Structure 1
Amino acid sequence: MSKWVFLRGLMRETRHWGEFPDLFRSMVPEADITLLDLPGNGSLHTLRSPMRVEEMTDSCRRQLLSRNIAPPHNLFALSLGGMVATDWAMRYPDEIAGCVLLNTSLRPLNPFYRRLRPRNYPALLALGLSSLVNRNVERQESLLLRLTSNQHAQQADVLADWISYQHGHPVTYQNALRQLCAAIRYRAPAQAPKPPLLILAGGADRLIDPRCSQQLAHQWQASLATNATAGHDLTLDAGHWVAEQVRDWLVSPANAYGSQEEYYFPRGLEKVD
């Protein structure tokens, strides 16, 4: 049995994983999954979000301790969650068996205009301003789904779920800003974390440029795989593919021996320069 900790991103909570944890268990049968919320989101929505990624990491470690879940853990993390996973693996490498980072970006390895595509600035600014005046959860979640999923037109049920999550466990505008500030401020190390790494990217991510993941893999000589058609919410757009990549990576020599001599590319994928 291998322990996995799943971490979501900005303004998202554990329920946003949808059916993916069950799919992951079917592909990685030995996986024992724990879903954690970052402060200010989901079950912790009444807390004030930290403005430092390091404090988010410490919160996750305390949550596991309170549940008597001991390390080592495998971290499976999307976007802002990937920053938490990176910090965790850097500061407490003995607690981490491996990291899977999905569509994450890190300063200073990635420039700001790739960490958040400029074409999204007007829509996000308008959403922020409207939230200050009159919070419209339906409009907010519809925009976020369009930005993060390339299958949003077929995701009416998902949108309804996301709206219900925000009504039940609302993320305040102030907490959203604090999480964004934490993401902007976090500075990643030039050297790779010690635990084995798998980096997964959506090649059609409209929120974060997929070259961010490519640059991380190049800088850290980490395993990399890209799905050409998936968007930012990689497990929503290509959940089966994601689970396959993790399954194959777990049995690859690069992961088994912690080697960083060369990239590992699952079947049907080409090396990115």
Structure 2
Amino acid sequence: MTTWVLLRGLMRESRHWGDFPARFQQAVGAERVLCLDFPGNGQLHAGHSLTTVAAMADHCHGQLQVLGVAEPVHVLAVSLGAMVALAWADQYPDDMQRMVLINTSVAPHNPFFHRLKPVNYPALITTMLFGSSMQREQLILRITSNLNTTVQAREIVARWAAYAQDSPISTGNILRQLLAAMRFRAPPYSGKVPLLLLAGKHDRLVNAACSRKLADLWACPLYLHPTAGHDLPLDDADWVIEHVLNWQVNTNVAPVLQSENQ
């Protein structure tokens, strides 16, 4: 059975994938697609968020056991979720068959001012810690997406704000997740788990130079979307699916090292 696991980032939960999981499952022909929430988010919002990425990886490993997944899984992960995927592959390499990491960044390979663009610091600190759920979601959409349709943006923010009301994330859990991301140091990449990097060239949150650096360091393929932002599955789901499909076919034959629009 082919199982894909999808992991979201800071303050995000399974519902933030929208219709991407269903579209992705149909396109790649997976028998099962699992969207896991981290403690403190979504269905697990009442619990305390974990303060290390390693503990989040332990959580993912445990969830496979709870869900009765015995075979190695394929992982597609965004941002903080991508950090967790790296730790997961390092701690439990037998769990994973391949991974796709989207707009990630990691110490010590990427400087802090590339991992989180300084222009966002004031708004993030003020709004994330003291803003209303609506203000938070408006800011998150503005800095993570390059969608330019006003009506669509309003609909997305309203939907996300409803998620936040239904499964509120506490200020303490926001800080715990930030602490986990800040403390994480990438383990050596062994190459045992095939890796694909995808990034938005116009990501307003994380500099695309982070993905370029990791692709060079780990000798893995990188594709850069020419217009998309941080939330690539939201901005252009079809593009993500196309590149995952092509890479999946190629890596079934032999490793392919290439990059696009670098």
TM-score, with normalisation over the residues of structure 2? 0.95
Matched, 1:263 2:238: no
Aligned-partner Cα distance in 1 for 2:68–2:195: 26
Contact 1:90–1:194 (CA<8 Å) still a contact in 2?
Answer: no
Contact 1:89–1:193 (CA<8 Å) still a contact in 2?
Answer: no
Aligned-partner Cα distance in 2 for 1:129–1:84: 24
Aligned-partner Cα distance in 2 for 1:128–1:187: 24
Task: Return the letter of the residue paired with 1:264.
Answer: Q
Question: Equivalent residue for 2:46?
Answer: 46
Stretch deviating more after TM superposition (184-193 or 114-123): 184-193
Stretch deviating more after TM superposition (243-252 or 17-26): 17-26
SS of the equivalent of 1:35 reads: strand
Aligned-partner Cα distance in 1 for 2:75–2:57: 12
How far residue 193 of structure 1 moved from its aligned partner, in angstroms, is 4.5
Structure 1 residues 171 and 129: CA distance shift in structure 2, 3 A: closer
Question: Equivalent residue for 2:37?
Answer: 37
Question: Equivalent residue for 1:142?
Answer: 138
Contact 1:93–1:193 (CA<8 Å) still a contact in 2?
Answer: no
Matched, 1:74 2:74: yes
Identity in percent? 45
Structure 1 residues 26 and 128: CA distance shift in structure 2, 3 A: closer
SS of the equivalent of 1:108 reads: coil
How far residue 194 of structure 1 moved from its aligned partner, in angstroms, is 1.8
Contact 1:76–1:100 (CA<8 Å) still a contact in 2?
Answer: yes
Aligned-partner Cα distance in 2 for 1:94–1:125: 39
Question: Equivalent residue for 2:83?
Answer: 83
SS of the equivalent of 2:236 reads: helix
Task: Return the letter of the residue paired with 1:256.
Answer: N
Structure 1 residues 163 and 128: CA distance shift in structure 2, 3 A: closer
Contact 1:190–1:219 (CA<8 Å) still a contact in 2?
Answer: no
Question: Equivalent residue for 2:62?
Answer: 62
Deviations 1:218-273 (A, max 9, x none): 11001110101001011000100000000000011xx22563xx6234xxx34x3x
Question: Equivalent residue for 2:242?
Answer: 244
Matched, 1:120 2:120: yes
Aligned-partner Cα distance in 1 for 2:111–2:57: 24
SS of the equivalent of 1:155 reads: helix
Q: Give structure 1 stretches of 5+ with no counterpart.
A: none
Question: Equivalent residue for 2:159?
Answer: 161
Aligned pairs (5 A) from 1:214-253: 214-252=212-250
Question: Equivalent residue for 2:95?
Answer: 95
Structure 1 residues 257 and 186: CA distance shift in structure 2, 3 A: farther
Contact 1:90–1:193 (CA<8 Å) still a contact in 2?
Answer: no
How far residue 157 of structure 1 moved from its aligned partner, in angstroms, is 1.6
Task: Return the letter of the residue paired with 1:207.
Answer: L
Aligned-partner Cα distance in 1 for 2:182–2:226: 26
Deviations 1:183-233 (A, max 9, x none): 010000243442000000011100000111111111100111010100101
Question: Equivalent residue for 2:106?
Answer: 106
Contact 1:6–1:33 (CA<8 Å) still a contact in 2?
Answer: yes
Aligned-partner Cα distance in 2 for 1:71–1:102: 23
Question: Equivalent residue for 1:172?
Answer: 170
Contact 1:14–1:36 (CA<8 Å) still a contact in 2?
Answer: yes
Aligned-partner Cα distance in 1 for 2:189–2:27: 31
Stretch deviating more after TM superposition (197-206 or 85-94): 85-94
TM-score, with normalisation over the residues of structure 1? 0.91
Q: Give structure 2 stretches of 5+ with no counterpart.
A: none
How far residue 71 of structure 1 moved from its aligned partner, in angstroms, is 2.8
Question: Equivalent residue for 1:22?
Answer: 22
